[in-house]
Amino acid sequence: MRTGFLLLLLSVAVLSHGQKKNFGSWNVINTRITLAPKWEAFNELQLRSQSFYNDHFYHEIKGGVSYFLNKNFSLLMGVGKYTTYSDPGNFTKPVTANETRFWQQLTMNNYLDVLKFEHRYRVEQRWFKTGYRNRFRYRLNAAMPIAKKKIEPKTFYLGAFNEVFLTNKAPYFERNRFFAGIGYQISSYFSVQPGYVYQYDYRNEVGAGKHFFQLTLMIDIDGDKNPNERIPGNVD
Q: Which pTM was predicted? A: 0.87
Is residue 16 domain-resident?
yes
Q: Give the CA distances from residue 176 to residues 113, 118, 197, 209, 232, in Å, rounded to whole numbers and listed in that order.
A: 28, 17, 10, 9, 20
Is residue 97 domain-resident?
yes
- Which CATH number fits the domain that encloses residue 192? 2.40.160
Distance CA 150, CA 231 (A): 10
Q: Please report, for the chain, how many H helices and E strands are present, in that order.
A: 1, 11
Is residue 233 domain-resident?
no
Is residue 232 domain-resident?
no
Look up the domain containing 163 and give its range. Answer: 2-220
pLDDT tens for the chain, residues 1 to 236: 444 444 445 444 544 444 445 789 999 999 999 998 899 999 999 999 999 999 999 999 999 999 999 989 999 999 999 999 998 999 999 999 999 999 999 999 999 999 999 999 999 999 999 899 999 999 999 999 999 988 889 999 999 999 999 998 877 899 999 999 999 999 989 999 999 999 999 875 566 899 999 999 999 998 777 766 677 777 78
> Total domain count for the chain?
1
